[in-house]
Amino acid sequence: MDYKEIIAKFADMPGGIIQAYHALLDEFSYLPEEAVVEAARVFKMSTAEAYGVATFYSMFSVNTRGKNVIRICESAPCHVAGAADVVAAMEKTLGIKMGETTADGRFTLEFTECVGQCQATPVITVNGKPYLDISADKIPAILAECK
Partner 1 sequence: MAEEMRIVLRNYGKVDPLNIDTYVAQGGYQSLDKARSMDKAALMAEVKKSNLRGRGGAGFNCGMKWTFAAGAQADQKYVIANADEGEPGTYKDRLIMENDPQSLIEGMAVCAYAIGATKGFIYLRGEYPELVSTLNAAIAQAKDKGFLKDFDLEVRRGAGAYVCGEETALIESIEGKRGEPRFKPPFPPVIGLWGKPTIVNNIETYANIPAILEKGADWYAGIGNAAYPGTKVFTLTGDVVNKTFFEVPTNITVRQLIFDFGGGIVGGKKFKAAQIGGTSGCFIPESLLDTEVAFDTMGAAGLSLGTGATFVMDETRDIVDIVTRIAGFFEHESCGKCAPCREGTMRTAEIMEKINEGKGSVKDTALLDKLGTVMSYSCLCGLGQAAPSPVLTTIKHFAADYEAKFK
**SS3 per-residue string spanning 83-95:** HHHHHHHHHHHHC
Is the Cβ of residue 16 or residue 32 nearer to partner 1 in the bound state?
16
CA 3 to chain centre: 18
Largest pairwise CA distance in the chain: 49
Side chain identity at residue 63, one-letter code:
N
In the complex, minimum distance from the CB of residue 132 to ligand FES, in angstroms, rounded to a whole number: 9
In the complex, minimum distance from the CB of residue 45 to ligand FES, in angstroms, rounded to a whole number: 33
Q: Give Cα separations from 69 to 39, 65, 88, 106, 143 (angstroms).
A: 23, 7, 17, 8, 11
Positions 96 through 125 that interact with ligand FES (CB under 6 A): 114-118, 121, 123
48/9 Cα distance (integer angstroms)? 22
Residues that bind partner 1 (rule: CB under 8 A) add up to a total of 36
Tell whether residue 63 is a contact of partner 1 (CB under 8 A): no
Judged by the rule CB under 8 A, the positions of this chain that interact with partner 1 are: 14-19, 21-22, 43, 49, 52-53, 56-60, 74-77, 79-80, 112-121, 125, 128-129
Give me the residues that bind ligand FES (CB under 6 A), please: 73, 75, 77-78, 114-118, 121, 123
